[in-house]
A and B are shown apart, each in its own frame.
Chain A
Amino acid sequence: GESVGLHLPTLSVQEGDNSIINCAYSNSASDYFIWYKQESGKGPQFIIDIRSNMDKRQGQRVTVLLNKTVKHLSLQIAATQPGDSAVYFCAVVAGGTSYGKLTFGQGTILTVHP
């Protein structure tokens, strides 16, 4: 079955630095990828998504990179702020599924120091 993992369980950065959070997935048939942010006591919040026909997508201060060759996904956060401190999850949807079953990784804890 699908498994999604993260290389680093924790990431600590200084305010203003750029952050990079990584994610590996196992199913080469995965074709939709999403990053969520989860703050303590809240549900996951959608950040950005990317489809398998793209290798890069940019949002406001965030960029997602997809490398299908090595089955790797990353989230880059520019000029990280204390409000970015949270747990970040990648999630994937396997190709061929007719419904939105998200398979989540374990999460990376991002801590931003002022």
Chain B
Amino acid sequence: ETGVTQSPTHLIKTRGQQVTLRCSSQSGHNTVSWYQQALGQGPQFIFQYYREEENGRGNFPPRFSGLQFPNYSSELNVNALELDDSALYLCASSLDGRARDTQYFGPGTRLTVL
């Protein structure tokens, strides 16, 4: 196990609703990255937080937003949910925000949008 935890495990929402997903990073890590994994695909980078600041962002619309807290845990918020947002949402923690730090993944949150 990596020590990265995510909650909830599963979630069902309807279109237009908002959702918040949570991630606790591995002890000693100050960086959290979020990925979206559609069924049968590889994970897609959403954004990364380093020491409470957004450190980089992928090609996701502004309705995907995040936070990182002083204890380095993180939240992913998605507003105005769409059917295509149904996916496994993964967070990964890494040591210190560097591009080549190993990223350790949590088990993911399975989001279903009806």
Q: Mark B96-107, 1 if CB is under 8 A from A, else 0.
A: 011111111111
A104–B100 CB distance below 8 A: no
A97 to B56, CA, bound (A): 9
Residues in chain A near residue B103, CB distance under 8 A: 34, 46, 100, 102
Residues in chain B near residue A42, CB distance under 8 A: 107-108
Select the residue from B42, B94, B104 with max chain A CB neighbours within 10 A.
B42
The smallest C-beta distance from A97 to any residue of chain B, in angstroms, reads: 5
With A32-B100, A46-B102 as given contacts, are A101 and B107 in contact (CB-CB < 8 Å)? Answer: no
Interface size on B, residues (CB 8 A): 31
A45 to B41, CA, bound (A): 16
Interface residue? A103 (CB, 8 A): yes
Interface residue? B86 (CB, 8 A): no
A49–B102 CB distance below 8 A: yes
Residue of B nearest to A105 (CB): B42
Q: Mark A66-97, 1 if CB is under 8 A from B, else 0.
A: 00000000000000000000000101010001
State which of B4, B41, B56, B107 has its C-beta within 8 Å of the C-beta of A99: B56
Which of B11-19, B44-52, B68-76 has 4 or more CB atoms under 8 Å from chain A? B44-52
A44 to B103, CA, bound (A): 10
B100–A51 CB distance below 8 A: yes
The 3 residue pairs across chains A and B that have the minimum distance between CB atoms: A104-B42, A43-B105, A99-B56
Beyond A43-B4, A98-B56, A99-B48, list 18 extra A-B contacts (CB 8 Å).
Answer: A32-B100, A43-B92, A43-B105, A43-B106, A45-B105, A46-B102, A89-B42, A89-B43, A97-B99, A100-B31, A100-B97, A100-B99, A100-B101, A100-B103, A101-B48, A101-B56, A102-B103, A104-B43
Show the binding face of B for A, using Cβ within 8 Å: 2, 4, 31, 33, 35, 40-45, 48, 50, 55-56, 58, 90, 92, 94, 97-108
What would be 24 A-B contacts, judged by CB atoms less than 8 Å apart? A32-B99, A42-B108, A43-B2, A43-B90, A43-B92, A43-B108, A44-B90, A44-B105, A45-B105, A46-B105, A89-B42, A91-B42, A97-B99, A100-B100, A100-B103, A101-B56, A101-B58, A102-B33, A102-B35, A103-B45, A104-B42, A104-B43, A106-B41, A107-B41
